[in-house]
């Protein structure tokens, strides 16, 4: 798929990838699930209610047999996404937005967080901050990947770290105005 995208992308074009890049088929590891279930146990009961009304007490990865039978293309080679992009394209920006704990934690209960109350906002903010801290400390890695890439190599030979565009050979540096 990435080879086809590389061939289809015009020289001045950008590839923007935002996707799940965690364990294949959402088969989260033991450490990840232990953290998820620890956070689940801290949530007030009203936020752990499933659509059918049952209170969620434990979260598990989706059964692989079920996933393969019902959605075999779902996250099938997710672990390969980062490498596939970085081997074929030059990165302008690589952002690791998380989702490592929050995605499996909120699966099946996310509807409880639609409330715009102060409590709900504080709770989501605290969960996000803890996940971000664990990722920054290297204790867990981000299960989602956001990359802005180009089809040519940068003059500097590396990816930009400031979030801005860097000069490319033969491409105007003022890409933001051009778009």
> pLDDT, tens digit, for every residue of 36-83?
999 999 999 999 999 999 999 999 999 999 989 998 888 888 889 888
* Helix 30-42 and helix 118-136, axial crossing angle in degrees, nearest 10: 150
Alpha carbon 177 to chain centroid distance?
Answer: 28
Please tell me the predicted confidence (pLDDT) of residue 152.
Answer: 67
Residue in the structure block whose two tokens are 């299960």: 143
Three-state secondary structure call for residue 100: coil
User: CA end-to-end span of the chain, whole Å?
Assistant: 25
pTM of the model: 0.74
Report yes or no: 33 and 61 within 8 Å, Cβ to Cβ: yes
């Amino acid at each position: 798929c990435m080879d086809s995208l590389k061939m289809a992308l015009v020289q001045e074009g950008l590839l923007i990838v935002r996707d799940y890049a965690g364990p294949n088929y959402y088969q989260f590891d033991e450490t990840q699930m232990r953290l998820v279930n620890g956070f689940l146990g801290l949530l007030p009961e009203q936020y752990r209610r499933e659509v059918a009304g049952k209170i969620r007490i434990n979260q598990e990865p989706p059964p692989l047999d079920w996933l393969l039978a019902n959605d075999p293309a779902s996250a099938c080679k997710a672990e390969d996404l980062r490498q596939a992009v970085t081997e074929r394209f030059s990165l302008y920006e690589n952002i690791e937005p998380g989702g490592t704990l929050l995605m499996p934690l909120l699966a099946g209960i996310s509807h409880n967080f639609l409330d715009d109350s102060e409590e709900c906002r504080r709770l989501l903010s605290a969960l996000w901050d803890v996940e971000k801290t664990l990722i920054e400390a290297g204790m867990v890695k981000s299960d989602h990947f956001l990359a802005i890439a180009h089809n040519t190599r940068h003059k500097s030979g590396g990816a930009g770290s400031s979030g801005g565009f860097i000069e490319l050979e033969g491409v105007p540096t003022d890409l933001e105005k051009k778009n």
